[in-house]
Amino acid sequence: VARFQAHGLEAGWFDEHAADAIARQAGDEVERAVSVARASPVPEPELAAQLVYAQASPAP
């Protein structure tokens, strides 16, 4: 990521301000996801078996 960011800055794809904004945005998204996960109930063991196979969508 660091190499890509350096290359992007050098190539003029974005400036440092935009790169910082992207990093902040990504960090916020991760923090929100972690918060939701921590606030969620512990999954029931049965959930594991339910997620092994997708169910066919009902016919329209």
Partner 1 sequence: VSEIETTFVKAINATLARAMRDDERLIVLGEDVAEGGPYGATAGLGQEFGAERVRNTPISEGAICGIAIGAAQAGLPVVVEIMFIDFITLALDQLVNQAAKAHFMSGGQLTVPLVLRTQGGAGSRSAAQHSQSLEAWLAHVPGLKVAMPSSAADAAGLLMSAIADPNPVVFIENKSLYFRRERAPRTAQPMALGEAHVVRPGRDVTVVALSRLVGESLAAADRLAAEGIEAEVIDPRTLTPLDLETIVESVRRTRRAVVAHEAVSHGGFGAEIVAQLQAAAFEFLAAPVGRVGAPFTPVALSPPLEDAYRPGRDQVYQAALAAIGRGPS
Pick 18 or 33: Cβ nearer partner 1:
33
The residue within the footprint of partner 1, chosen from 2, 12, 54, 58 (CB under 8 A), is 54
Q: Is position 57 an interface residue for partner 1 (rule: CB under 8 A)?
A: yes
Angle, helix 16-39 to helix 2-11, in steps of 10 degrees: 150
Q: Is position 53 an interface residue for partner 1 (rule: CB under 8 A)?
A: yes
Pick 39 or 57: Cβ nearer partner 1:
57
HEC profile of 23-55 = HHHHHHHHHHHHHHHHHCCCCCCHHHHHCCCCC
